[in-house]
Structure 1
Amino acid sequence: MKKRLLTVLVTGTVLSLGALAPSVNAQDFDSQIETVNSSIANINEKKSAVNSTIDTLAKELSDVQTKIDTTQAKKAEVQEQIETLKAEIAKLEKVIAERNSRLEEQARSVQTNGARSYLDFLLNAESLSDAVSRIGVVMDLMSANRELMQQQAEDKKQVESKEEAQQEKLAEQEAAEKELASLQTELNDTFSKNKVLLANLSQEELAEITKRDGLVAEKEAFQKRLAEEKAKADAEAARIAEESRQALAAQATQATQTVATATAYQAPAASTTSESTTSTSTSTSSSNATPAATTQTSSYTYTTGGGFPAVDPSFRASLNGGYFGQCTYYVFNRMAQVGTPIGHSMMGNANEWPSYARSYGYSVSRTPAAGTAMVFQSGIGGSHPTYGHVAFVESVNADGSVYISEMNFVGLNVISYRTIPASVAAQCEYIHF
């Protein structure tokens, strides 16, 4: 009868607390998903900025290419002009050569005949008028020679000037082309770097999207598993409630007396876990060191010890980083209830608590102390081989054994009490919040 009545009470508590689990964990998952979404939004902003830069660079590259094409066209025109000028220069050089030949002939003639040639030409005039005419001819000849020599000099100067002008134009076009090519290379390099940056941002975005999808899937799986567990608990509660209702109708007085003297949430005697076995074997030997007072409130039996307030299963810490019904969830609540709340929601799995606590500046030691969080590393004292276990130290006995309250050692969301022997307690770590 004791077992059946106690099971009904425990099941009722599990169901009442279990109703909170989906919203609590949904908020936790939603918070993580929102963080990832913020990261994705930030990456998209960076991608937008990089795309804008790439568009600007593409336009600049197009403009530079247009200028290069224009410069090359002008360079081609100058080269065509140079080719035309070369033809003109060839003609001028031919004319100059012919003039030089005639001037040389005249010079040789003058050198051979001397100045007397012109004098004989004048003295052989038949009359005065003929002499005047011959003087005019000589003057015209001398003037023509002077003009020929002046034209010769001007033509040479013109050829040199045209060559110089065209070479300057060609040099200008080549310099402009070189400068534009350098600018084009620089823009192409910047363009390529931004393309690489955009690709890296896209990879980061894909990784964050994958992470978010994983969180969504994990949230859905957790809620599904919780719903299945709740359905099983509902069915079991209904069966036990019916059996207990029939038994209580005949033995109401006996049931009340039995509950008033029962020790709440002890591990079942048939349990095969190493932690349960230790609890059973050591609770009896240490019972005289720390007697546990019991109180009955609202159909829920709980034990007090170590001078702390009695465990209130309905108490909720304002900041809780543990999953509902787990050992971490309970310690967050118990610490807040006794007036030393944990100030950080991120504490990890039970076996990670000492590392997180040290990083937050909390004191962690190997010395048991009442009011501390007791951390069992993986496999110690029957704890989970992967995640470990954490409990609240209600009191420390004179022989070094430790009396604790805990959750999820007997079952999910079940609060139970044990006395841990000194040999096991010495292997644990104690966090002072």
Structure 2
Amino acid sequence: MASRSFPSISFQRIMAFVKARPGIVAGGALLAAYFLDPDERSEDDVDELPLPSFHNKLLQNQNRSNRHILPPSNLIHSVTAGCLSAKKSLDTHPTGTEGTLVTNAAHFESLYQLGPKLGTGAFAVVYKCTPKSTSSNVAAVKVFDLSRVPAKKQARIRADIHKEYTILQSLQHDRIVQVYDLFEAPTQNKVYVVMEFCQGGELFERIVAKTTYNEKEARDVIRTLLTALAFCHEDAGVVHRDLKPENLLLESETDDLHIKVADFGAACLITESDCLSHYCGTPSYTAPEILARQKYGPKVDVWSAGIIAYILLGGYPPFADNQDQLRKRHTFYFHSPEWDAVSPEAKDLISRLLHRDPQQRLSAREALAHAWFEKEKEELEDRELPAAKEGIEKFNALRWVGREGGREGGKEGGREGGREGRTMQGPRLQPC
């Protein structure tokens, strides 16, 4: 299936949207990515769109960094009478009960108090919710109204929701957005998914809001991202397949470093060999082997992490995102003056993450052993990155244009890379 572009929407509409919701740009409760995803298109257009991804970009939570996370071996799945019960450690669940997947929406109402609406899409609404057993924890629930989806697509979308829920249940890690419950209401044709509520918003929005920004902060974020990926690949056997900046959320409004990886709507198990040949992801962050329609593995996520690392340190993407450049991706550069302040070790790591040959590319675990992560923090704190911070601010503004227009790609970047006019934003490739 060929990818489709969405209708263009004016920049004036984007700015009106931003000005009406200042909390988004400041990294508040609402995350703009949710509103600008394909899910927001009108009901009349739903049948003409590619199948949507089920993003967790809004899903936010109070700071729970000190809680203990049990490994996946403590997660027990049992199937009885068509009902999957996912039993988790009590200290990972906001209600202090087991995570559930049940066919009775009334059970949701018995456990949670529905709060204010956070956002509305074509057939999903996100609310804040609070467990009735305690008012100290906050979660979010995304309510899918499948009656608003064409009948021929309902089964596929329902299966995708269940698949993402099951994968997230296996990812019990404090750097990954957690899922708590899934409830079905067959008579209403609705599905309720309860997840974490990350109060800090998107990572790049926080960087823009900072007064100063240095290489040590960038390193801390990249280390956390690689740690989450190493867990996904080695412990859980999961490939994310759609890593990008808007999928990196901050746990709290005050902590700049504790990111969580979100949006596993394109994820699949490493054991699903057929799945690891599908053409999917967001083109600007997608590894060359996917674009070449070759078989691939977990290192496609490492490539995406390399793109994110390059932007974090340089302030712009390494490649122009027109279609010709997306497929070639032979060479990138560390331009002056943007990269003058960045350490040689950081540049070396990026070069190894963005190796075109996946056999030569580092794994997430190998990357964590790189010399850059051994450097003294004081040295990296002294490496201020004003050019990167300014570049990320411009990059963020262009991402808004890309989100609202739904474009794949954009105008060509600088002479070798993506320094000029980069949106690095577009719809996913063919649904996975």
TM-score for both structures, normalised by structure 1: 0.16
TM-score, normalised to structure 2, is 0.17
Q: Based on CA coordinates, which of the two structures has the bigger radius of gyration? A: 1
Q: Give 1 or 2: higher strand fraction.
A: 2
